[in-house]
A and B are shown apart, each in its own frame.
Chain A
């Protein structure tokens, strides 16, 4: 096993490669394979291979496809633009300066992850439409902006930009502290050193996070469905969902459309790879770095106002709107004292179903976070530090689910795991949801761990090997600790999304098993909007508090270790 120092890190990756490849095959490739098969063989569901390709050709030849594809691209790019506009300045400010109330803004910007997008869309509709909460309070409404294509983009950017904010603020912090200081020493002004050094070196983070936003946007169903349908703006994912949820059902058509969506995401992924391979972005060397943030001086007030403005749009207003509907006895009663009360919350506590759904979702969310986190770290390591052609396949495979709409993953999973010849199957047990969520969310930890691994120089591991550590020890003691912050962030994201996932859960949940999102959806379906919103509010609070407690605990622990290390 002795090889040159330049290739250190590759040896440990071999085991990781096989573990990762095996798991990805079962979790991602298997359902994806069945999606491809059903696109080709329309009658696969009943076990027949008749009339291959007939449907695929029909779907691809449909002129509607061009419209859906164009709208999807437009929405993805527009949302990425708005998200970059919101996130990059905030992330740079947060990373390089002493922003007042910095932790409070971090917390507020964490919450959009916990708000299910369809709930956020509904709360914005109830706030901005004529006679909505805003008109009840101020006499004005913004229905014109809300029900428009830019409106949808802004709303989706508000849901997704925190991804960029959190990845970038960490990247800027790492880069800014040392490298731009060097620039300053050589006479560059603060702007120049940011634009010429910090910003370019942060490219992997920017590319990775914006790619995530793009993939999340083209895959997201709730917001375009709630807002776009009214103005006739259909995207691929709503087209797919319509084919799966409107009778007569068209599974092959939905599968064919999702293949188009997967191609779109793969294209975005190639762009990201191209950006990353052009240069070397390794910035984490062995030397300890003290992060010295600059004071804002006169700019403190405007910067605080900017943070307050963006966080109120992203978090405060939607959460207040959710609370307002949860406290309203009836929707038509509006925000009048007589109509407000805790009835919905007491009904939520008194009916057993709500608490059970909460417990189910939290358990599933935590298990998915752990499982996807571990698998994601292993996969990212195999991709970044491994060798061979197949690691690109692994990389592409780990990204594929990001482009598969939840409803299609659900169909693929049912087809794959409900085959009559299987001796035993997780189908119709809660485990099937763990499989579905892991499949859907695996791209997040892989992306995050990937971006942080890109920045770790090989010499750190090489040093460990020289000192006698085996590949596994080097990974556990050197690489993993450096990756941990990024990985934890992604696991929190996975937890948040898994505990509120709707579209796949609705289709694939075992009979009689309710998750938070399914519970909320059923309340809406019965016309109990207030009860659904009460559940949504409790879920947001709980899913925010759990990661916060975890972060607090880790910070408290790592402080002790950090001291002992120095």
Chain B
């Protein structure tokens, strides 16, 4: 019986065709699906997509490291690109379509697919006053009514906490902890109680997710805080190990084309190219907090864990 089973495995494995371009992408799933469809229509090249969280994409890449499967990787955390570049895993490719992408959104080997911003995601029917700045959520009106994603699980929240630590704003985090805010896992786990009204707002919500929910008719609003916020560029990279360089480059170019960038804008992400219009505030409109002088990741997380223990 075992022999039959092995024979079956071999038969199926032998019959499996290699995919044209294999893309591992962090969410949103709708975006990578429409990019793959648009790319196929334009070039006739088929894209096979593995879509999961940034963490799961990275875990799969690491487990596959001895025999990589992916050609192109899109992650939601810029740190993954800088690390991969350091490890020499990335193919250095300067796409002609990246000409209008500002310099801080590209490094050799990676360019941003789009950019997400961090906001307060507030439920207007929660019976609380509309917050205007991060510090508002430490007020008694929001007692026990705030969630925040865990910076260990959410790259965006980590970037914000890092900036808070760098700018000496940890008193806001302490105020949140004292006000009964809960740390609720990843981004979705933090947003869900706010949608149903169990909580009033997410501190460090992700803007495009919040705007997407609002567009679906949910009672939720993305508020860019007055004292400034951070952005999380989503790096797109071609792995050096690709066995299909030409098609991988073609996909890369397509994502950075006007058509691809319009799809990015459609899911409420900020397009990386400055010449693409979007129905939302763009990087140039936002006041940004700098993370300069922030300590190492472990220390940032330890500071956070010390406050929310």
Contacts and interface: CB of A to CB of B under 8 A. Distances in A.
Nearest to B70: A511
Nearest to B305: A232
A426 B60 CA distance: 16
Interface string A239-267: 00010111111010000000000000000
B59 A129 contact: no
B53 A129 contact: no
A330 B69 contact: no
A76 B110 CA distance: 45
B66 A45 contact: yes
Interface in B200-221: 209, 212-213, 216-220
Interface stretch (B148-156, B224-232, B282-290): B148-156
Interface in A475-513: 506-507, 509, 511-512
B246 interface: no
A524 B186 CA distance: 12
| Max count, chain A CB within 10 A of own CB: residue among B53, B67, B125, B188 | B67
Contacts of A524: 188
Contact of B19 (A130, A414, A511): A511
A47 interface: yes
B2 interface: yes
Given A132-B198, A332-B125, A512 B66 contact: no
Interface string B36-67: 00000000000011111111101110111111
Given A329-B217, A330-B218, A525 B195 contact: no
Nearest to A332: B219
Interface in B3-57: 5-6, 8-10, 12-14, 16, 19, 22, 24, 27-30, 48-56
B275 to A, nearest CB: 28
A248 B65 CA distance: 15
Contacts of B188: 524-525, 527
| Max count, chain B CB within 10 A of own CB: residue among A225, A246, A524 | A246
B9 A424 contact: yes
Given A45-B64, A330-B219, A511-B22, A229 B185 contact: yes
B131 interface: no
B300 interface: no
A529 interface: yes
| Max count, chain B CB within 10 A of own CB: residue among A45, A125, A143 | A45
A41 to B, nearest CB: 12
A526 interface: yes
Contacts of B244: none
A244 B55 contact: yes
B260 to A, nearest CB: 19
A560 interface: no
A45 B65 contact: yes
B143 to A, nearest CB: 13
B183 A247 contact: no
B69 A246 contact: no
Interface string A377-392: 0000000000000000
Interface in B62-81: 62-67, 69, 75, 77, 79-80
Contacts of A331: 192, 195-196, 218
A411 B75 CA distance: 20
Given A45-B65, A132-B196, A249 B182 contact: no
A558 interface: no
B64 A418 contact: yes
A363 B171 CA distance: 54
A132 B192 CA distance: 11
Interface stretch (A5-13, A19-27, A50-58, A155-163): A19-27
Chain B contact residues (Cβ within 8 angstroms of A): what range?
35 or more
B191 interface: yes
B132 interface: no
Interface string B128-141: 00000000000000
B191 A527 contact: yes
Contacts of A374: 1
Contact of A332 (B6, B77, B155, B195): B195
| Max count, chain B CB within 10 A of own CB: residue among A19, A122, A428 | A428
A47 B67 CA distance: 9
A468 B212 CA distance: 73
B2 A230 contact: no
A115 interface: no
Nearest to A423: B10
A84 to B, nearest CB: 30
A131 interface: yes
Given A26-B2, A131-B198, A525-B28, A248 B83 contact: yes
A522 B183 contact: no
A524 to B, nearest CB: 6
Contact of A333 (B27, B65, B219): B219
A47 B49 contact: no
B261 interface: no
Contact of A525 (B14, B53, B80, B216): B53
B59 A527 contact: no
B62 A249 contact: yes
B67 A418 contact: yes
B197 interface: yes
Nearest to A407: B59
A129 B2 contact: no
Contact of A526 (B8, B30, B60): B30
A132 B199 CA distance: 11
A377 to B, nearest CB: 12
Given A332-B125, A511-B50, A525-B29, A23 B59 contact: no
A377 B9 CA distance: 22
Contacts of B159: none
Contacts of A131: 196-198
A431 B12 contact: yes
A111 interface: no
11 contacts: A130-B198, A248-B297, A249-B58, A251-B62, A333-B218, A418-B64, A522-B29, A525-B28, A526-B29, A526-B30, A527-B188
Interface of B: 1-2, 5-6, 8-10, 12-14, 16, 19, 22, 24, 27-30, 48-56, 58-60, 62-67, 69, 75, 77, 79-80, 83, 123, 125, 150, 152-153, 155, 182-185, 188-189, 191-193, 195-198, 209, 212-213, 216-220, 297, 309
Q: Nearest 9 CB-CB pairs, A to B?
A: A245-B55, A131-B197, A332-B219, A47-B66, A414-B63, A424-B13, A46-B65, A129-B198, A331-B195
Given A506-B52, A507-B63, 16 more contacts: A22-B2, A129-B193, A131-B196, A244-B56, A247-B54, A331-B195, A374-B1, A425-B13, A426-B13, A428-B69, A506-B56, A511-B48, A527-B191, A527-B212, A527-B213, A528-B216
Interface of A: 19, 22-23, 26, 45-47, 122, 125-126, 129-132, 143, 225-226, 229-230, 232, 242, 244-249, 251, 329-334, 374, 407, 411, 414-415, 418-420, 424-426, 428-429, 431, 506-507, 509, 511-512, 522, 524-529
